[in-house]
Amino acid sequence: MCILFFKFDPRPVSKNAYRLILAANRDEFYHRPSKSADFWDSSSEILSGLDMEEGKEGGTWLGISKKGKMAALTNYLLPMINKNAKGRGALVTNFLTSDMDSYSYLKKVALEGHLYNGFNLIAADLNTTRGDVIYYYGNKGDPEPVFLNPGVYGLSNSLLDTPWKKLQYGKQLFTDVIQHSQDLTKEDLVQELIKVMNNQEPTNTVILIDAEGHVTFTERTMLNADVDQWKTSSYQFKLQI
Mean of pLDDT values over 93-122 = 95
Per-residue pLDDT, 179: 93
Is the overall model pTM greater than 0.85, yes or no? yes
Query: Residue 234 and residue 207: Cα distance in Å, rounded?
Result: 10
Q: Tens digit of pLDDT for each residue in 6-34?
A: 999 987 777 778 999 999 997 654 445 66
pLDDT tens for each residue of 124-180? 999 867 789 999 999 999 999 999 999 999 998 888 888 888 889 999 999 999 999
CATH of residue 183's domain is 3.60.60.10
CA distance 154 to 7: 9
**How many domains does one find in the chain?**
1
**198-230 tens-digit pLDDT:** 765 668 999 999 989 999 999 988 777 777 788
Q: Which residue has the higher pLDDT, 106 or 128?
A: 106
Enclosing domain of residue 137:
3-238
Integer Cα distance of 19 and 208 in angstroms? 8
